[in-house]
Each structure stands twice: as C-alpha cells, then as structure tokens.
Structure 1
Amino acid sequence: MLTMMVLYGHPKDPAAFRRHYEEVHLPLARALPGVSNIRVSYDVHDVQGGSPYFAIFTCDFDDAAAYGDAMRSDAGRAVGADVPNYADGGVTVLTLGSD
C-alpha cells in the first residue's frame, strides 16, 4: 500500500480554502483512479498545541504503480492543476510506502 499525505499551510482566507477544497478539490480527488480511504483533517495540532499546518489530506493506493498511474491520469492532472486555486499557504506532498 502507498499513502499520499498532503500538508497544507495556513491560508490567507481559511473559509475560502475550506469552501473550495470541499466543493471543488475533494470531488476531483475522489475521481482519481484507484484511490481509497480519503481522509481530511482541519484539526491539526502539534504536541504544544500549535501547528504550521491548516489541514492534512491522506488517501491510499494499492502500490506505487497505482499512485503513479493515478497522478498521470486526466483526473490526476486536474487535481494538480486545481491546487493553486486554494492553497496560498503552501503545500507539501509526501508519499508513505508500507511493506
């Protein structure tokens, strides 16, 4: 299994971020071929109570090949093209493999 994790920095307008994310971006992400177990959290805190992140998105793919296929698909290109429309606080994308 491969997990994709997306860490979003604090946006200038949190309400606008959330609205666009939930109404536009998440439907695009759900259309990715092979995606499963989509999770989003806006309740992001480190152990001291702060956080450099506003939101964290995670989802799973069967393996690295399935992830690559999804990102190269039309749906994957649409997801990537949408990010600048709402993520003005910065974004970090990580992949986590499991054995």
Structure 2
Amino acid sequence: MHKLVVLYPHPTDPVAFKSYYESTHLPLAAQLPGMLDWRYSLDVRAEPGSPYFAVFEADFADAEALAAAMSSPQGKAVQDDVPNYATGGAVVIDYPIVAR
C-alpha cells in the first residue's frame, strides 16, 4: 500500500477555499486512476500555531500506481487545478505503508 498526503497551509480566503475544493477540486481528484480510497478534512486541529488548514489522503496499491495516476491526464488536471484555490500552496508527500 502507498499513501499520498496533501497538506494545505492556511489560505487567504478559507470560505472560497472550502467552496472550490469541495465543488471542483475533489471531483477532479476522485477521478485519479488506480486510487483505492481517499479522505479529506477541512477541520485540521493541531497544536497552536499549526501551519495547516486542510489535509487530503489517498491510498494506492504501490508507488508505481501513484506515479501512473499523477502522470495521467486526470493527474495533470488535478495538479494544474491547485493554484485555483490553494493560495497558501500545498505540501505533497507520499510514502509506503508498512504493516505490522
């Protein structure tokens, strides 16, 4: 299993971020080929001063499936859409999941 995590710093306009993210960006992300499951939160709670506002997580079978998804037309559309709502940018990380 391989995980993709996108961390979003605080946007300039949180209301606009939420509206665009849920109505436009998530439907694009839901089309990523090979994605097994996904989840998100617009209610990130962390210690005071946390730089993050929102988080997105997606599961893929392996790193190759994630790479294929992100290089697909759908993946390119998702990546190209980020500047349309994420005025604070985005931090993207991925990693293999190690089972106990």
- Shorter-chain TM-score bucket reads over 0.9
Distance in 2, matches of 1:69 and 1:42, equals 27
How many residues are treated as equivalent by the alignment?
98
Any runs of at least 4 consecutive aligned residues in structure 1 with deviations exceeding 3 A, and if so which? none
With structure 1 as the length reference, what TM-score do the two structures score? 0.93
Q: Displacement, 1:50?
A: 4.2
The aligned counterpart of 1:2 is 2
Equivalent residue of 2:76, what SS?
helix
Q: Structure 1 unaligned runs (5+)?
A: none
TM-score normalised per structure 2:
0.92
CA-atom RMSD in angstroms: 1.1
Structure 1 residue 98 displacement after superposition: 1.8
SS of aligned partner of 1:26: helix
Aligned to 2:14: 14
Q: Which string of whole-angstrom CA distances, capped at 9 and with x for unpartnered residues, describes residues 25-81 of structure 1?
A: 0000000001122111112122x3442101000010000010010001000000000
* Contiguous gaps of at least 5 residues in structure 2: none
